[in-house]
Structure 1
Amino acid sequence: MTATVRYALRPLRPEAHLFEATVTVDAPDPAGQRFTLPAWIPGSYLIRDFARQIVAIRAEAGGRPVALTQLSKHEWLAEPCRKALTVTVEVYAYDLSVRGAYLDTARGFFNGTSVFLRVEGQEGRPCSVDILPPDGKAYADWCVATSLTPLDVRKKTGFGRYGAADYDELIDHPVELGEFERVTFKACGVPHEIVVSGRHKGDLKRLARDARKICEYQIRLFGEPAPFARYVFLLYVGGDIYGGLEHRASTALVASRDDLPAKGDKTISDGYLQLLGLFSHEYFHSWNVKRIKPAAFAPYDLSAENYTRLLWAFEGVTSYYDDLTLVRAGLIDAERYLALLAKTITAVERGAGRHRQTLEESSFTAWNKYYRQDENSPNAIVSYYAKGALAALALDLTIRERTGGERSLDDVMRALWAKWLADGKGLAEDEWERVATEVAGVELADFFAAALRSTADLPLAELLKAQGVSLVFDAAASASDKGGLAGSARPGKPRAVLGARTAADPAGVRLTHVLDGGAAQAAGLAGGDVLVAIDRLKAADVDRQLARFEPGDTVTVHYFRRDELSSAKLVLGAAPRDTARLALSGDARWLQHP
């Protein structure tokens, strides 16, 4: 591979969280070369302005400084020069999430969108990147893990030169640096790696065995061969963290160290189940959004928002298949899956926003609503992840019902994959529905109109009943009751509730969200208020403190709004019947491996 754009990256000062990244252009624009840094990263739909973390930038050619003029918050123009032009940036990296860059004396991690300047006009040319180790004996055991194509790297550590076909590929392979553990396996003949950094005592061999089942199921769902020659899971484990971001041949993940399976434990804890679901979700994206994608993302414009009404189909459908994969791959049984499904149904049911925002609207406004949530969000928006997953379930069961079991959502996904393999084009805004209708061979216009463009509740009870699964709603037994299997909570008298979501606060109990139509809203309380007393007793455990009250009772609450102390009389409400219970009474055929 002949590179015409050459990059280099090194941890400059780990103790100060500074990376140094350079880009060298052999043939800069004779009128002056423009450089930009992405404003967002694909898969996370929020303008993040990565350029704000650049703390220094300079340019040179032929050993002499070249003037740079900043054109906008993320654009620079170099003065005309005839020789190879090198621009160097120093980037502050202390974002522990999967979206940015992180560096300290223990580890490093970066996405290319945070560190690699784009050479305007030459973004389609081949790139090379030299990944260099930090200076000092303290880093002698550091290694590199990435899905980038190695060109000339040290076999033991992985430091050295990597290649990419173009800028778009360069920024789609995150990189982990440091001392980490690595476990490998093959899925359908394709090499896979799980790289785990962070302190832990987990059983990585078991994680690899279980991940292999996930990967093989999904590869076979779409059809071999897999769309990559090698795949890497980059997992950082720490305290109370969780998240993932998909890439074309890898994923970056963060999770609690306690979610890893313990050595010798053959059960699947709730934490480990959540981790397996995260692996499944991001891996499914290898097909659904990294290849099959909206036309609005083909290509990405990383300088501004890219609007589409199809995020429900890419995040929601993926959220449906992540847990479905676990049961079809034999990792959990049908009842464990139904318990997970009940929690998703409950999460959607508890948001009044589902009656205000459609799935298409949720997708389109992700940039300023879903990714910028506040204390009123449950009342105003619906999640294209959670309700999108339920819409995918409803569509799957609807297709099965209307075709007598001859077709399913699996067939739709395979058809979308075949289309991408044939033309590599993004989907027009109405094309996903057209493909689904053609594959099913039955009319689905009524379904899509109701599920995507109205705020009507999905007909899940009727659809699940046809599969031998009953769905009922009852009141939550406690604030921690998120739904589950029928009989998982003891019935009792109606609970008295505030009509608000809460969190612990050093001064008492903070109201994170005040729900539409609830007691707290009627009394004038607001999100962010801190309850300090309930019925003249210190606010601490709301469930316990309200246990001896009945719905309709009046209590006095004292609270701080900012630095002002106020009080209000609050008429307690009854816990709403918004908690899903599922029971298996038939064969639930759709859960079985096809």
Structure 2
Amino acid sequence: MPSVLHYTLTIANWRAHQFTVTLDIPEHSKNMLELSLPSWIPGSYMVRDFAKSIIDINVTTGANSENEHLSMLPLVKLDKQTWRVETQGKPCTIRYSVYANDLSIRSAFMNDQYAFINGTSAFLSVSEFENARCELDIQLNENDPDITDWKAYTSMPTRADSASSSEWHFVAQSYDEFIDHPIYVGIADTHCFNVDGVSFTLLFSGNNNIDYERIAKDLTPICKHHLDLFGAPRAIDNYLFMTLLADNGFGGLEHKYSTALLYPRFDLPQVGETGKKTDSYITFLSLCSHEFFHTWHVKRIKPNVMVKPDLSQETYTNQLWIYEGFTSFYDDVTLARTGVIEPQKYLDIVAQNVSRLLQNAGRLKQTAAESSFDAWTKFYKQDASATNNIVSYYTKGGIIALGLDLLLRRESANKVSLDMLMQLLWQNYGIEEKGTPDNVIQDLCKTHFDIDVSAYLDQVVYGTDDVALASLVSEMGVDFHTRPRVSSDDKGGLTSQPAVINQLGATLKPASFGLTVVQVFEGLAAMDAGILLNDVIIALDGHVVNAQKFQRLLDNAQASTVEMTLIRDGRLLTLPLDVVKARADMAYFTITDQQKLSKWLAR
């Protein structure tokens, strides 16, 4: 049986956000074939039902010679994403159109500048052909003069066909490999740089005035750090950072040889700009660091159930705290290790993550392992109560990784670190993509380091204890502190600003008149007073409020209770609010031993 599936992707009509796919299936041994589209994309743990975007689909056979005519074959839809066709083993062609209007890095999107397409939202799989070679032609609609200057970009290997200005040819050795290469077709800026023999390409949608040389210069030591950490054998020779620029938006999704990013265009450095790195630019570098780290840790080192996951339904694991959590530790610490940011800036970023946890009552109800398992619903489908009921396996997982590194150093007199554990994961599981068991961390630490970390993991991973940073960070040469917030937009970290005196216990945003309640935190004054989500606070003790005036009035309250006036679903209400002193739920670190911190940051 021929083992080649041939796909043709055509940018059909960007005005209608549509592309078309033609799939040629060769002669085969089965009377019936099943066609299906994944319902989720690896790395993003939520069922997205990509097949809902298929507009029309048909199957034809015949026309192998001048005397034959095309014959339509009936398709039977079996479920939301699966079709069956009776082919009698004959070659056939599947044609379908897809609606692409999801501006994210998980699906497909098309506008007047570009088309971005993930294979999971575009390419049907064929039963009996899961391990077949997949060939792809990408072509433009030749009748559309507005896209004649578009070009195709992907990390998928190029096929050795002759290419024209309106057609590109690629190949993958299996369907799983095929759908792991996101595709960009359109107008783009590109910039290439080399790190230790690995070729990197930066791609940004549209034409921009972004300082790509500066970004490449800052990413170079970050990429080198990750390459050096995991060492031989090299996982890649080429890598593509593919960034969709928008007015707003944020996201990143890892692939084996590329990453797809979504980022605000004016949060990146422009040509001619000088000065210190902005917080938003540091966040972009950290995002790149995070997704590139996944090249090893997620795409090759992975939970055992993710080696060959069922993309038609949820695949559960309680290990995401290891994968997203450890990566969340390395994405930021790498910037400090390589000198891209100062040590104090790194400590402030860690403090912001800790502050996020300290404000989150959900951390006392859900474990990091449970958060991993429930990612499909509780994490990826959060509602306004999430902060009170769940914990992030990203945020707590990153703090768990920091604590584990400090614990390993303390128990080994600085002879063992988390870096060494990552190298063991790569050597024992990543190179051959074997898949890790749930107890992999405690097992490796005990077997290779003779350090028992099970009690620590029982407390902070399988239990709801906070990581005892105050007793661990001395290994870094720093002290851990907490303080009240200094303003409504305080994220944590070292500051010289005066703290607020009293605390509402809710997140507010400006409304056309007054302040809208968008979060209410468990155990604080707002919830005790009966303030609800979407209430609009308009006055405090008879004085009309905005964001600045509200906090000032609350801090200067002379009585133990104040009168809150608000609108709820068209009704005017007055509620008594207890005046409660602000709690110390903002974290910060101070450096006590600069030499010790520098040593900790050195690999």
Q: TM-score, normalised by structure 2?
A: 0.94
- Specify the alignment match of 2:124 in structure 1: 117
Say if 2:189 and 2:206, in contact at 8 Å, map to a contact too.
no
| Residue 33 of structure 1 pairs with residue 41 of structure 2 | no
SS of the aligned residue for 1:449 comes to helix
- What amino acid maps onto 1:546 in structure 2? Q
The range that moved more, 134-143 or 268-277, is 134-143
SS of the aligned residue for 1:549 comes to helix
**For the structure 1 residues 71 and 590, does the alpha-carbon distance in structure 2 shift closer, same or farther, using more than 3 Å as the test?**
farther
Say if 1:352 and 1:516, in contact at 8 Å, map to a contact too.
yes
Residue in structure 2 matching 1:481, options 481, 490, 507? 490
SS of the aligned residue for 1:470 comes to strand
Say if 2:110 and 2:116, in contact at 8 Å, map to a contact too.
yes
SS of the aligned residue for 1:129 comes to strand
SS of the aligned residue for 2:496 comes to coil
Say if 2:252 and 2:261, in contact at 8 Å, map to a contact too.
yes
**In structure 2, what is the Cα distance between the partners aligned to 1:113 and 1:539?**
49
- Specify the alignment match of 2:209 in structure 1: 201
Deviation at 1:276, TM superposition (A): 0.3
- Specify the alignment match of 1:260 in structure 2: 268
- What amino acid maps onto 1:462 in structure 2? S
- Specify the alignment match of 1:439 in structure 2: 448
- Specify the alignment match of 1:527 in structure 2: 533
- Specify the alignment match of 1:509 in structure 2: 515
Residue in structure 1 matching 2:73, options 62, 66, 69? 66
Say if 1:58 and 1:87, in contact at 8 Å, map to a contact too.
yes
Deviation digits for residues 347-394 of structure 1 (CA, Å, limit 9, x no counterpart): 111101111111101111111101111111001011100110000000
**In structure 2, what is the Cα distance between the partners aligned to 1:182 and 1:131?**
19
- Specify the alignment match of 1:417 in structure 2: 426
- What amino acid maps onto 2:145 in structure 1? K
Residue in structure 2 matching 1:180, options 172, 188, 202? 188
**For the structure 1 residues 530 and 65, does the alpha-carbon distance in structure 2 shift closer, same or farther, using more than 3 Å as the test?**
farther
| Residue 545 of structure 1 pairs with residue 550 of structure 2 | yes
- Specify the alignment match of 2:22 in structure 1: 22
Say if 1:51 and 1:114, in contact at 8 Å, map to a contact too.
yes
Say if 2:35 and 2:124, in contact at 8 Å, map to a contact too.
yes
The range that moved more, 528-537 or 320-329, is 528-537
Say if 1:477 and 1:489, in contact at 8 Å, map to a contact too.
no
Say if 1:496 and 1:547, in contact at 8 Å, map to a contact too.
no
- What amino acid maps onto 1:112 in structure 2? G
Deviation at 1:583, TM superposition (A): 0.6
- Specify the alignment match of 1:296 in structure 2: 305
Deviation digits for residues 168-206 of structure 1 (CA, Å, limit 9, x no counterpart): 001100011111100001111011100011453210011
Deviation at 1:152, TM superposition (A): 4.0
SS of the aligned residue for 2:400 comes to helix
**For the structure 1 residues 157 and 248, does the alpha-carbon distance in structure 2 shift closer, same or farther, using more than 3 Å as the test?**
farther
**For the structure 1 residues 157 and 475, does the alpha-carbon distance in structure 2 shift closer, same or farther, using more than 3 Å as the test?**
farther
**In structure 1, what is the Cα distance between the partners aligned to 2:515 and 2:320?**
35
Residue in structure 1 matching 2:238, options 222, 227, 230? 230
- What amino acid maps onto 1:53 in structure 2? S
- What amino acid maps onto 2:343 in structure 1? A
**In structure 2, what is the Cα distance between the partners aligned to 1:107 and 1:230?**
23
Say if 1:144 and 1:157, in contact at 8 Å, map to a contact too.
no
**In structure 1, what is the Cα distance between the partners aligned to 2:97 and 2:132?**
24
- Specify the alignment match of 1:369 in structure 2: 378
Stretches of structure 2 lacking an aligned partner (at least 5 in a row)? 63-69
Deviation digits for residues 524-580 of structure 1 (CA, Å, limit 9, x no counterpart): 122232334443444431x43231334764333333434444332222322210001
**For the structure 1 residues 107 and 416, does the alpha-carbon distance in structure 2 shift closer, same or farther, using more than 3 Å as the test?**
same
Residue in structure 1 matching 2:177, options 161, 169, 173? 169
Deviation at 1:82, TM superposition (A): 3.6
SS of the aligned residue for 1:340 comes to helix
- What amino acid maps onto 1:26 in structure 2? P
Deviation at 1:104, TM superposition (A): 1.6
Residue in structure 1 matching 2:589, options 582, 587, 591? 582
SS of the aligned residue for 1:58 comes to strand
Say if 1:499 and 1:573, in contact at 8 Å, map to a contact too.
no
**For the structure 1 residues 68 and 257, does the alpha-carbon distance in structure 2 shift closer, same or farther, using more than 3 Å as the test?**
same
Residue in structure 2 matching 1:559, options 553, 566, 575? 566
**In structure 2, what is the Cα distance between the partners aligned to 1:571 and 1:346?**
24
- Specify the alignment match of 2:503 in structure 1: 497
The range that moved more, 431-440 or 138-147, is 431-440
**In structure 2, what is the Cα distance between the partners aligned to 1:172 and 1:345?**
34
- What amino acid maps onto 1:500 in structure 2? A
- What amino acid maps onto 2:424 in structure 1? A
**In structure 1, what is the Cα distance between the partners aligned to 2:512 and 2:448?**
56
Deviation digits for residues 30-79 of structure 1 (CA, Å, limit 9, x no counterpart): 33110111110111111111111111111111121111111101111112
**For the structure 1 residues 297 and 331, does the alpha-carbon distance in structure 2 shift closer, same or farther, using more than 3 Å as the test?**
same
% identical equivalent positions = 35
Say if 1:112 and 1:170, in contact at 8 Å, map to a contact too.
yes
**For the structure 1 residues 339 and 154, does the alpha-carbon distance in structure 2 shift closer, same or farther, using more than 3 Å as the test?**
farther
The range that moved more, 214-223 or 28-37, is 28-37
- Specify the alignment match of 2:289 in structure 1: 280
Say if 2:197 and 2:237, in contact at 8 Å, map to a contact too.
no
SS of the aligned residue for 1:453 comes to coil
**In structure 2, what is the Cα distance between the partners aligned to 1:140 and 1:125?**
32
| Residue 46 of structure 1 pairs with residue 51 of structure 2 | no
Residue in structure 2 matching 1:395, options 397, 404, 407? 404
Say if 2:139 and 2:166, in contact at 8 Å, map to a contact too.
no
Stretches of structure 1 lacking an aligned partner (at least 5 in a row)? none
Deviation digits for residues 262-282 of structure 1 (CA, Å, limit 9, x no counterpart): 334252111110100000000
**For the structure 1 residues 358 and 569, does the alpha-carbon distance in structure 2 shift closer, same or farther, using more than 3 Å as the test?**
same
**For the structure 1 residues 193 and 156, does the alpha-carbon distance in structure 2 shift closer, same or farther, using more than 3 Å as the test?**
farther
Residue in structure 2 matching 1:100, options 101, 107, 124? 107
Deviation at 1:505, TM superposition (A): 3.2
SS of the aligned residue for 1:455 comes to coil
SS of the aligned residue for 2:56 comes to strand
Deviation at 1:154, TM superposition (A): 6.5
Q: How does 1:4-19 map to 2 (within 5 A)?
A: 4-19=4-19
- Specify the alignment match of 1:460 in structure 2: 469
- What amino acid maps onto 1:270 in structure 2? D
**In structure 2, what is the Cα distance between the partners aligned to 1:113 and 1:97?**
13
The range that moved more, 394-403 or 263-272, is 263-272
**For the structure 1 residues 153 and 459, does the alpha-carbon distance in structure 2 shift closer, same or farther, using more than 3 Å as the test?**
farther
Say if 1:411 and 1:439, in contact at 8 Å, map to a contact too.
no
Deviation digits for residues 441-485 of structure 1 (CA, Å, limit 9, x no counterpart): 211111111121111111111111232101100100111111112
Say if 1:346 and 1:578, in contact at 8 Å, map to a contact too.
yes
The range that moved more, 55-64 or 148-157, is 148-157
Residue in structure 2 matching 1:133, options 125, 137, 140? 140
**In structure 1, what is the Cα distance between the partners aligned to 2:492 and 2:449?**
32
**For the structure 1 residues 110 and 505, does the alpha-carbon distance in structure 2 shift closer, same or farther, using more than 3 Å as the test?**
farther
- Specify the alignment match of 1:568 in structure 2: 575
**In structure 1, what is the Cα distance between the partners aligned to 2:577 and 2:260?**
46
Deviation at 1:497, TM superposition (A): 2.4
SS of the aligned residue for 1:286 comes to coil
**For the structure 1 residues 35 and 345, does the alpha-carbon distance in structure 2 shift closer, same or farther, using more than 3 Å as the test?**
same
Say if 1:132 and 1:159, in contact at 8 Å, map to a contact too.
yes
- What amino acid maps onto 2:338 in structure 1? A
Say if 1:217 and 1:329, in contact at 8 Å, map to a contact too.
yes
**In structure 2, what is the Cα distance between the partners aligned to 1:373 and 1:470?**
34
SS of the aligned residue for 1:30 comes to coil
Say if 2:187 and 2:207, in contact at 8 Å, map to a contact too.
no
- What amino acid maps onto 1:556 in structure 2? E
